[in-house]
Amino acid sequence: MKIWQVLKSALVAVLLLLLCVPAAQAFCGFYVAKADSKLYNQASQVVIAKDGNRTILTMANDYQGAIKDFALVVPVPVVLQQEQVRIGDAQIIERLDSFSAPRLVEYFDEDPCEVLRPMPAPGASRGPIPAMAPAPYQEDSLGVTVEAKFSVGEYDIVVLSAKESDGLETWLNQNGYQIPSGASPLLRPYIRQNMKFFVAKVNLAEFEKGGYSFLRPLMIAYESPKFMLPIRLGMINSTGEQDLIVYVLSPKGQAEITNYRTVNVPSNAEIPVFVKAQFADFYKAMFNTSYNREGKKVAFLEYAWNMAGCDPCSADPLNQEELKKAGVFWLTPNGNNNVFVTRLHVRYSRDKFPEDLMFQETSNQQSFQGRYVLRHPFKGAVSCEAGKQYQKSLPARFEQEAQTLAKLTGWNMQEIRNKMKQLQSQQTPFWRSIWP
Amino acid sequence: MSAEFFSHTSKHSLFFCYAMLQDARDYQILFLSGFLILGIATRDWTLQFDLMAVVFFTCLLTQALATWYFHRPSNPSYSEIFASLKSAVITSLSLCLLLRADSYFTMLIAANLAILSKFFIKFQGKHFFNPANFGIISALILRPDAWVSPGQWGDDWWYGLLFFGGGSLILKKVGRWDTTVAFLLTYSCLEAVRNVWLGWTWDVFLHRLMSGSLLLFALFMITDPRSIPNARVSRLIWAALIAIFTFILRNQFFVSEAVFWALFAVAPLTILLNFIWPASDFSWLQTTNLESLSVAKDEEPLGIAQHTI
């Protein structure tokens, strides 16, 4: 039986479909494509709704193996009882993903002989959740205590505390969770920090009864000053790179990582029009280039915006009901949706990210979005002097766009120029060269 | 008569030239501005130039007004007030490097209280709070929109070298190496013990220590010779205490601004330590060996509390 999942359930080799969303007008341009989590074949997604010490954490499961083999072991700061665990809604994570994903925006140049139009510009209540009391079971000879044991939906869950990592490893093995070698030393630091272990596996009967085709996300609610995500366990068997997308929802402002640098992804770059057909490739290449340039040891900020104040928004903002499903617990029925969304994209590997991720909420209200701009040149006939100047300026602009693209993605400059020429020759009628 | 006059002026101008090079604060300003420019250019900081302008303006204005007001009896000249602005520039640079806020008012409060703390919170004529640290903590306590970003420098080794290079030059001048060494040594030992106890690999330990923000703090903030204890033994104890506090706050209470709270909490101990181990107060130009010059004695004609960060 092959099991071991930590915040990262395994992978999908999703072929990249370019998502040409029906054009929605926003930011006085048109969103034509987005770079959401489907781009990466090993992306885990976590939603953290946090206000002070109160946290609701949602872990998305994109596990693709045999359901009977699935298991999840997550170190958690406190013992969780049944009422603190819920089944989440996978669609909500998709909504958050598509809402905050980096965007390709398309503009069409106006007739340079006409006057330009101005553009519109873009634009905080709390409620408690009940605290839970633990009810520990008896400790066994291995030093492992089953603090809680319950079922939620299709998951059978135990919450364990342990005295020694060897004992915990043995316990997990004896109870049908096969632990990969090398797990014990990695479990020890969490035991020593007095953390508990949230262990979930799938109850096959329930799963089949529910008629689900995939595993639904798990949500946990707890109160603790610890604002961290344990990534070390997830790297137990892997030296490769893993993608993690964290959505932090907070009433306060932007979240950042305190023990690694948080860097904005390159944004607001004007790139050649042909990228529209290959935005997914573009974003992946650009992300990879930035990741390498920063020494593979930073977290990237892809989106930061207050959902109450995005006007226009990159997609329909989540309504109160959806926000509740995402774990947001501080909204009042008739108040505004004061939820600041921070989307952090961390590509981590064992050698560059030795420590678990530590976060902090800040009151930073600065908005940020990964946004890439296509500007279609004006194709109509121009007769005025300004129009002629405009046409003269185009080659320099195209060259600049090509250079920006090459710099962002590391793509070959000559190939970019060729692609641009191809597109231009396809689009520009032949007579325009003599009858502008 | 004319020969005597000539020798007197040349002695003075010689001193001033020498003093310009010898005053560690000039180096401090140079390095901190360098770090700020480097940070803005190479790191992804959410710095806003208007907020920085508020900090500089508030610090300088508060310093000038307070100097004038508190030293009216000695009727300070413009040049004396102007000279006192050097430390205000250092405080401004430190606040710009370390403090982040979402409003002008928060920056104004931080800058204002940072400078005023030197004039109001004194014991026997010596201030014991580091002004920038006081400003940061005031902003964190009084305002909801202030924060510090401990991860902002990352853990690149060449930043570490840069901080060490700049820091060591200043520390050599002011003779406060002991403080940095005591702090880093104590903190590393505690982190090492924790690392062994938890069973983490050593790269976790190194990663925790290579933080640019921690090094900047150790080299530039806790070495302020004007506000830290005077005797070496006091400084060693003082720095070790800050390290212990930082360690506890960071690992037990998960406070991301642990170093600043630790310094703030331990700062008042300076009075007690100076009482137990008395030593002469630091003067910025004592290292120039020109004390015989009357100008050197006049270095603090106003008793202005000067400081590094």
Q: Residue A345 in contact with residue A219, Cβ under 8 Å?
A: no
Q: Which residues of B touch A365 (CB under 8 A)?
A: 102, 145
Distances (CA, A) of A85 to A58, A81, A206, A322, B118: 10, 7, 17, 18, 52
* pLDDT of A265 above 60: yes
Pairing of strands A218-223, A85-87: antiparallel
Q: How far apart are CA A71 and CA A233, in angstroms?
A: 13
Mean pLDDT (chain B, rounded): 82
Q: Tell me, what's the pLDDT at A181?
A: 72
DSSP code for A238: -
User: A255-269, A379-393, A403-417, B230-244: lowest mean pLDDT where?
Assistant: A379-393
Spatial distance between the Cα atoms of B152 and B45, rounded to a whole number of angstroms: 7
Asked whether A217 and A61 are in contact (CB, 8 A), the reply is yes
Q: How far is CA A72 from CA A8, A75, A155, A156, A159, in A?
A: 9, 10, 10, 10, 11
* Of B278 and A51, more confident: A51
Give the position of tokens 């006192």: B84
* Closest residue in chain B to residue A194, using alpha carbons only: B198
Q: Residue A115 has what pLDDT?
A: 58
A153-188 burial, b for 16+ CB within 10 Å, e for fewer?
bbbbbbbbbbebbebbbbbbeeeebebeeebbebbb
- What's the pLDDT tens digit per position in A248-261? 999 999 999 999 99
In angstroms, rounded to a whole number, what is the distance separating the alpha carbons of residues B187 and B182?
Answer: 8
**Which range among A313-322, A413-422, B276-285, B288-297 has the greatest average pLDDT?**
A413-422
Q: Which tops the pLDDT comparison, B225 or A303?
A: A303
| Contact call for A363 and B144, based on CB within 8 A | yes
Q: Which residue has the higher pLDDT, B19 or A43?
A: A43
* Percentage of chain A modeled with pLDDT above 90: 44
Which of A40-44, A269-273, B66-70, B163-167 has the least mean pLDDT?
Answer: A40-44
The minimal CB distance from A257 to the residues B151, B204, B253 is found for B151
Q: In Å, how far is B152's CA from the nearest CA of chain A? A: 5
On the 0-12 / 13-18 / 19+ scale of CB atoms within 10 A, A50 is: buried
- CA distances for A231 relative to A53, A298, B256, angstroms: 21, 14, 19
Q: CB-CB: which of B147, B199, B206 is closest to A362? A: B147
Q: Which of A259, A345, A348 to mutate to test the interface with B (most CBs of B within 10 A)?
A: A259
Q: What is the pLDDT of residue B3?
A: 41
**A225 contacts B102? CB cut-off 8 A:** no
Token pair belonging to B157: 């080794």
- Reported as half-sphere exposure (CB side, CA atoms, 13 A), residue A137 has a value of 16
Of A188, A262, A264, the CB nearest to B151: A262
Candidates A260, A354, A360; nearest CB to B201? A354
B100 CB neighbours in chain A (<8 A) are: 362, 364
Please give the single-letter amino acid code of residue B257.
Answer: E
CA–CA distance, A26 with A34 (Å, rounded to integer):
13
How far is residue B180's CA from residue B150's CA, in Å, rounded to a whole number? Answer: 19
Q: Are B309 and B220 in contact (CB under 8 A)?
A: yes
Where helices occur in chain B by DSSP H, the ranges are: 2-22, 24-42, 49-70, 78-98, 104-120, 131-142, 157-174, 177-198, 202-209, 212-216, 232-252, 258-266, 269-276, 294-297
Q: Do A362 and B150 touch (CB under 8 A)?
A: no
The mean of the pLDDT values for chain A is 81
Residues from chain B contacting residue A261 (CB–CB below 8 Å): 43-44, 151-154
Two structure tokens written together for B305: 């509390």
Residues of B in contact with A165 (CB under 8 A): 199
- Which of B155, B199, B253 is opposite residue A188, by nearest beta carbon? B199
Residue A174's H or E segment, with its range, is: helix A165-174
Task: Report the candidate in B16, B10, B5, B8 with the shortest Cα–Cα distance to residue B296.
Answer: B16
- Average pLDDT on B223-247 reads 92
Taking any CB pair shorter than 8 Å as contact, residues of chain B touching chain A are 43-44, 46, 100-102, 144-147, 149-156, 197-201, 203-204, 206-208, 211, 253-254, 256
Nearest CA distance, B8 vs chain A (angstrom): 56
Contact B147 A261 (CB under 8 A): no
Of A18 and A154, the structure prediction assigns the larger pLDDT to A154
Of A297, A351, A364, the CB nearest to B46: A364
Pairwise CA distance, residues B278 & A125, whole Å: 54
Task: Select from A192, A256, A366 the Cβ nearest to the Cβ of B199.
Answer: A192
Taking a C-beta distance cutoff of 8 angstroms, is the pair B305, B117 a contact? no
Task: Name the residue type at position A357.
Answer: L
Instruction: Name the most confidently modeled range: A1-10, A208-217, A399-408, B293-302.
Output: A399-408
Report phi then psi at A316, rounded to 5: -60, 125
In this predicted structure, what is the pLDDT of residue B100? Answer: 92
State how far the Cα of B185 lies from the Cα of B167, in Å rounded to an integer: 16
**A240 three-state secondary structure:** coil
Lowest mean pLDDT among A102-106, A257-261, B228-232, B288-292: B288-292
Three-class DSSP category at B168? helix
Question: How many beta-carbon pairs below 8 A join chains A and B?
Answer: 79
Contact A246, A253 (CB under 8 A): no
DSSP 8-class letter at B220:
I
Return all residues near A391 (Cβ < 8 A) that are at least 6 apart.
Answer: A382, A436
Beta bridge pairs of residue A361? A255
Is A43 a residue whose pLDDT tops 60?
A: yes
A265 in reach of chain B (CB within 8 A): no
Q: Nearest CA to A234 among A328, A334, A349?
A: A349
Contacts of B149 in chain A (CB under 8 A): 256, 258, 262, 362
Average pLDDT (B125-136) is 91
> For residues B101 and B146, is the Cβ–Cβ distance under 8 A?
yes
Q: Which of B43, B151, B256 sits opposite A260 (nearest CB)?
A: B151
Q: Tell me: the pLDDT tens digits for A114-132?
A: 754 444 444 333 333 333 4
Q: Which of A14-23, A74-83, A133-142, A377-386 has the lowest mean pLDDT?
A: A14-23
Most B-contacting residue of A169, A355, A365, A368 (CB-CB within 10 A), to test interface:
A355
Q: DSSP per residue over A241-305, as a string?
A: -EEEEEEEEESS--EEESSSEEEEPP-SEEE-GGGGGGHHHHHHHHHHHHHHHTTT-EEEEEEEE
Question: Among positive and negative, which fits the CA dihedral A299, A301, A302, A306?
Answer: positive
How, if at all, do strands A340-348 and A269-271 pair?
unpaired
* Contacts with B155 from chain A: Cβ below 8 Å: 260, 297
Cα–Cα distance between A69 and B212 in angstroms, integer?
43
User: Which residue in A has a C-alpha nearest to residue B195's C-alpha?
Assistant: A189
Give the C-alpha separation, A77 to A197, whole Å. 8
Task: Please check the confidence at residue B189 and state whether its pLDDT lies above 90.
Answer: yes
Q: Cβ separation of A192 and B198 shorter than 8 Å? A: yes
| Average pLDDT, integer, range A262-270 | 93
What is the pLDDT averaged over residues A256-278? 92
- Model pLDDT for residues A9-30, shown as the tens digit of each residue: 432 222 222 222 222 222 233 5
A184 part of contact set with chain B, CB < 8 Å: no
**Nearest C-alpha of chain A: how many angstroms from B264?**
21
Beta pairing, strands A261-264 & A298-306: parallel
Instruction: Tell whether A417 is within 8 A of chain B (Cβ).
Output: no
DSSP label at residue A182: T
Lowest-confidence segment of A122-136, A385-399, B207-221, B237-251 by average pLDDT = A122-136
User: Average pLDDT in the A140-146 region?
Assistant: 86
Across the interface, which of A192, A193, A256 has its CB nearest the CB of B151? A256
Residues A261, B208: C-beta atoms closer than 8 Å = no
Positive or negative CA dihedral for B155, B156, B160, B166? negative
Provide, as residue numbers in chain A, all residues whose Cβ is less than 8 Å from the Cβ of B145: 253, 363, 365
> Is the N-terminal amide bond of A312 cis, ω within 30° of 0?
yes
Would the CB atoms of A364 and B197 count as touching at under 8 Å?
no
Q: Per the structure block, which two tokens stand in for A202? A: 């799938």
